[in-house]
Amino acid sequence: MIDPKHLRNDPEMVAANLARRGYQFDVAAYKDLEERRRQLQIETQELQNERNQRSKSIGKAKSQGEDIEPLKAQVTALGERLESCKSSLDEVQQQLEQWHLEMPNLLDEQVPDGEDESANREVRRWGGLPAFDFTPRDHVDLGELLGGMDFEVATRIAGSRFVALSGDIARLHRALIQYMLDLHINEHGYREVYVPYLVNVQALIGTGQLPKFEEDQFRVEHDPLLYLAPTAEVPVTNLVQDRILEDSEMPSRFVSHTPCFRAEAGSYGKDTRGMIRQHQFEKVELVQVVRPSESWDALEALTGHAETVLRRLGLPYRVVTLCSGDIGFSAARTYDLEVWLPGQQRYREISSCSNFTDFQARRLKARWRNPETGRPELVHTLNGSGVAAGRCLVAILENYQDADGRVNVPEALVPYMGGKRLLGE
């Protein structure tokens, strides 16, 4: 949520910033609503004070033997006006709250302008692209040859955009997750957490998935209403919901493996082949909660932690800065890691690393106690995939294949595969 002070004090600045995203902020309408709120608040306070004064007068008049009925009638009338005014104020405040919840975060000045992913700016590349003396297969064909990737049976069980893994491919998928957890815990200083796979409405509002992205969520009709977590970012970031962290707890780094569930609304016809865009997938998620002065350095570090996974696995990738038209709703700046897929002959996203500044923290009421002032202040939150396990599996299959459709196991994963070095032998 954007700082309301920015909206009240400089709505033109907010409008100009959000216009870079293509979001039209009606400054005049907002000012009118804010002025209406201010007037109602003043009127409510005045009526409250007047009613209190008249109520006190009743006791005094009664003690002096005066007729108190006219005063009581006045107090009743003031009470009715007060309740009407409070009701109007509540309605205006709810309108403002809804407006605030539907507004995306302010963009950092370093975010490049652009309408879509074609304007994303490449920052760096790592690793040479593999040279094959044969036409490389994609992961779907490789999965069929290896006998461990079945889309047909998954479709019978749950519908399209699901997959059933088995044998060495299922083990490789599990090995990837275990390897990434160990790397981030042992070398990058993250604390492992296990969190619910179901989240409530407030948790999704806190991280920005609701109300804007309702159609992307899988609802569970329950009392209270629950949703399948679209990403571990939601439950992990909510660990600091409505908390005041001590300075000794800052920064906090969390890592978690969770399945993710997304309806993929609006993606009809996109990536219908294979595992690239699924309703259910696995990620190892990195979340950081930091002091505001440290969040931009934290973004670089977090991105580097995700890059380390790809480098240790020998997977060529590039890093891009997302442009204003492609960046996520809650992010102030985002780096995408895109891994090379020989089967598609292109780079595809495998991790998004974002700094949300205080946007999520304001929704979550997540704060830390500044030792210099002794006062609670909003934290900054960040998250990134470290990395998406399914897409990493795809990248390994395609980059490590041989002409016979077998797949070499990256050296870093051999211990997690019980010493196995080749799939398909």
Residues 6+ apart with CB under 8 A from 313: 392, 395, 396, 410, 412, 413
Q: Quote the DSSP letter at residue 387.
A: E
Give the integer Cα–Cα distance in Å for 195 and 287. Answer: 13
68 assigned binding-site residue = no
Catalytic-role residue among 8, 36, 277, 311 = 277
Least Cα distance to 259 among 221, 232, 286, 278 occurs for: 232
Catalytic-role residue among 161, 330, 391, 398 = 391
158 assigned binding-site residue = no
Q: Is 368 helix (H, G, I), strand (E, B) or coil?
A: strand
Q: Give the gyration radius of the chain's Cα atoms.
A: 27
264 assigned binding-site residue = yes
Q: Is the torsion defined by CA of 270, 271, 272, 275 positive or negative?
A: negative
Q: State yes or no: is 277 an active-site residue.
A: yes
Catalytic-role residue among 349, 369, 377, 406 = 349
Q: State yes or no: is 262 an active-site residue.
A: yes
Sequential DSSP letters for 282-342: EEEEEEEEE-GGGHHHHHHHHHHHHHHHHHHTT--EEEEE--TTTS-TT-SEEEEEEEEET
377 assigned binding-site residue = no
Q: State yes or no: is 349 an active-site residue.
A: yes
Q: What is the amino acid identity at position 137? A: R
- For residue 124, the Cα-to-chain-centroid distance in whole angstroms is 24
63 assigned binding-site residue = no
383 assigned binding-site residue = yes
Q: State yes or no: is 375 an active-site residue.
A: no
Give the integer Cα–Cα distance in Å for 222 and 28. Answer: 41
Residues 6+ apart with CB under 8 A from 43: 85
Q: What is the amino acid identity at position 266? A: G
Catalytic-role residue among 253, 352, 354, 398 = 352
372 assigned binding-site residue = no
Catalytic-role residue among 51, 171, 262, 367 = 262
144 assigned binding-site residue = no
262 assigned binding-site residue = yes
Contact 114, 122 (CB under 8 A): no
97 assigned binding-site residue = no
Structure token pair of residue 30: 């907002």
Question: How many CA within 13 A on the CB side of residue 23?
Answer: 23
351 assigned binding-site residue = yes
Q: State yes or no: is 121 an active-site residue.
A: no
Q: What is the amino acid identity at position 99? A: W
Indicate the annotated binding residues. Answer: 231-233, 262-264, 285, 349-352, 383, 385
Indicate the annotated binding residues for L-serine. Answer: 231-233, 262, 285, 383, 385
Indicate the annotated binding residues for ATP. Answer: 262-264, 349-352
Q: List active site positions.
A: 262, 277, 349, 352, 391
